[in-house]
Structure 1
């Protein structure tokens, strides 16, 4: 209790001020450096990357098909070579097999990746079909892929059969080894280009066209490489149908 008329001591005032200053300093928050990334912004960037890859809900057709291709590729890598060769020959979409069991070989030939999981067509399959399926849905993506695969196969193999019948090619041309997903991938690539913005459409289409035509010009297998060019053209022809969607 302070007595009236008695001047307050300087030490007492300083002590009182210090006593009141302590809780103020203790309650002051330490500022977070502005350079530290926030957790929210880091999490927001993750979904953008995963949209490039197939997921069970976002791209179920591409996701399931990818698992199937991984399984057949691992089998082809580690199984008995004679067994693998026999299965590939049985899945070949050559003229002889197409004449005998067309539906079976058209489906079976699309279960293998020529060149393995690290080939250019395997990587293109993963990203192109995912992007296409996220835009038009699983059923339309499957229709584009298998439609291009079937049409390009028939359009390249039937002339081989005609050439053999007319005597322009030897008879062993009817039994060539032809399998893989490349025709379907090229068709989906051509179809996807029509759904992209202009700044992305023409670079993609120009680059893939240059790749296909260059391979055709230096090809040792003109039948397959001409099929790649044809499949790409087929994909561009269905732009109106996909844009309606």
Structure 2
């Protein structure tokens, strides 16, 4: 079980998050609070694994909260302000949820937390993440960390053709550029919206709407060829036959 708290200076917002937490079997609600200092005390007492954290709060902001906590817990940010995304990524947050938050989007973030906090054999919930059609995030882009500490590149989802995994690095291919960043393919897979992105090989994720031809076990996107892995073949052909 992942021990969670919901922190928001607006009580109704934290109660909504609490209701979501209670619906997910691998999450345990430790408490809700409108007081960031109270939440900080819970974390420092070792009572919390995961914090659903608002950013715009009086006295102690979410960004300040993360700086104090350091690595004592994991964070999923919940906010109405997309401009704080870079700050969140710099503090290694698991996910960035924009209000109003749909339960499906919340559930996807919870699955990402489960993968990170409970490494090991793939759980049933993470298998569902591969096959369920989950609504896309509230934003239509993401920021990719660059080759220096505070450098990030904005990438629109609609521009991505496919992604290739290279051990601890990934290459994101668009029609005009290739972006390389230090990240696992599994972590990026959890971040990308489904559809249009699907894993088709242990080393590749593709944008289904960018596929030009599928011939046997090979996908053609523009002039690139991408193999279909045996593990992913059945689900891939099922989804393209269904037009998903």
TM-score (norm 1): 0.28
Q: Which structure features the higher share of helix residues?
A: 1
The higher relative CO (CA closer than 8 Å, separation ≥ 6) is in 1
Q: Which structure features the higher share of strand residues?
A: 2
Highest CA radius of gyration, 1 or 2? 1
TM-score (norm 2): 0.28
